[in-house]
Chain A
Amino acid sequence: QSVLTQPPSVSEAPRQRVTISCSGSSSNIGNNAVNWYQQLPGKAPKLLIYYDDLLPSGVSDRFSGSKSGTSASLAISGLQSEDEADYYCAAWDDRLNGVVFGGGTKLTVL
């Protein structure tokens, strides 16, 4: 069981918008930055969002992140077939003294 809780799967039609939630606690999301990763099938993960809502260079602005209290969200607008991937949230946990990941969310573009 993961420390951060994500829905196992989400699906939406092309060109629509989808959000993926990530729920934690005061020792992780509530007190530290949330980062999001995209893992395409058979590939290494890629940093998508860092420090809650910042985009690394080269990442499409169709991706956005937000945080409120002990929960965070990743939004993807204008869905495309190439967005089909697994998405993970992560944060430092002050109690565990380590990085904790969500269980991952599989996005299907219908």
Chain B
Amino acid sequence: EVQLVESGGVVVQPGGSLRLSCAASGFTFDDYAMHWVRQAPGKGLEWVSLISWDGGSTYYADSVKGRFTISRDNSKNSLYLQMNSLRAEDTALYYCAKDMAVRGFAYAFDIWGQGTMVTVSS
């Protein structure tokens, strides 16, 4: 079964740091680019970041650029999001999602995890 499972979401104070993880299974992880997408409570979807299948290329939304770092470990079938200098507006459910193109970029997310909740509050 193709599956993505996120973890690492907690309550953190403003200015704090957090690392989210996403464990992939059921597909050849190192053939696909991966994304993080977030959804604030009661709000719409917001794309956060993208990493290529080999980790060589990364892209970020302006709202997180310079504060968040996406990475992956293909030997562990895992995706990560290092989040620094967290703000209240980063409070959201964070989803990892698989790009549907093989060793390319379709920017279409065909597999999603169930999400992990990050709350930034003092």
- Taking Cβ atoms with an 8 Å cutoff, the residues of A that contact B are 2, 32-33, 35, 37, 39, 44-47, 50-51, 56, 86, 88, 90-92, 96-104
- Taking Cβ atoms with an 8 Å cutoff, the residues of B that contact A are 35, 37, 44-47, 50, 59-62, 95, 100, 105-110, 112-115
User: Which secondary structure dominates where chain A touches chain B?
Assistant: strand
- Asked if A98 and B106 sit within 8 Å, CB to CB, the answer is no
| Chain A residues, CB < 8 A from B59 | 97-98
| Chain B residues, CB < 8 A from A47 | 100, 108-110
- Asked if A50 and B100 sit within 8 Å, CB to CB, the answer is yes
Q: A47-B100, A51-B108 are in contact. List 17 more A-B contacts (CB 8 A).
A: A2-B44, A35-B107, A35-B108, A35-B109, A44-B112, A44-B115, A45-B37, A45-B109, A50-B100, A91-B107, A97-B59, A98-B59, A98-B60, A99-B47, A99-B50, A101-B47, A103-B44
- Asked if B108 and A104 sit within 8 Å, CB to CB, the answer is no
A–B Cβ pairs within 8 angstroms, 26 of them: A2-B44, A33-B108, A35-B108, A35-B109, A37-B45, A37-B109, A44-B115, A45-B37, A45-B45, A45-B95, A45-B109, A46-B112, A47-B108, A47-B110, A50-B100, A50-B106, A51-B106, A51-B108, A56-B110, A90-B107, A98-B59, A98-B60, A99-B107, A100-B47, A101-B46, A101-B47
| Chain B residues, CB < 8 A from A86 | 44
- Asked if A92 and B107 sit within 8 Å, CB to CB, the answer is yes
Q: How far is the CA of A98 from the CA of B44 in the complex (A)?
A: 16
Q: How far is the CA of A10 from the CA of B114 in the complex (A)?
A: 26
CB of B92, distance to nearest CB on chain A (Å): 13
Which residue on chain B has the smallest CB distance to residue A6? Answer: B44
Q: How far is the CA of A92 from the CA of B104 in the complex (A)?
A: 13
| Chain B residues, CB < 8 A from A33 | 106-108
Q: How far is the CA of A33 from the CA of B107 in the complex (A)?
A: 8
